[in-house]
A and B are shown apart, each in its own frame.
Chain A
Amino acid sequence: MGGYGDVQMLNEDGTRMDGRRPDELRKIEIEVGVVPVADGSARVQWGTNLAIAAVYGPMEAHPRKISRQDRCVLDVRYNMAPFSVTDRIRPGFNRRSREIGKVTANALESVVQLELYPRSKIRVEIEIMCAEAGTRCVGLTAASVALADAGIPMTDMVVSVASGKVNGVVILDLNKEEDNYGDADLPMGILPNSGELVFLQMDGDLSPEDFQEAWDYNMGAAKEIHEIMVAALAARYGGDD
Chain B
Amino acid sequence: MSDMRINVLFFGATADIVGKRREELEVDGEVSAGSILDELRTRFPYLAAQKLHISIEQEYASSDSIVKAGDEIAIFTSVSGG
Instruction: Tell whether A pairs with B.
Output: no
Enumerate chain A interface residues (CB-CB to B < 8 A): none
Enumerate chain B interface residues (CB-CB to A < 8 A): none
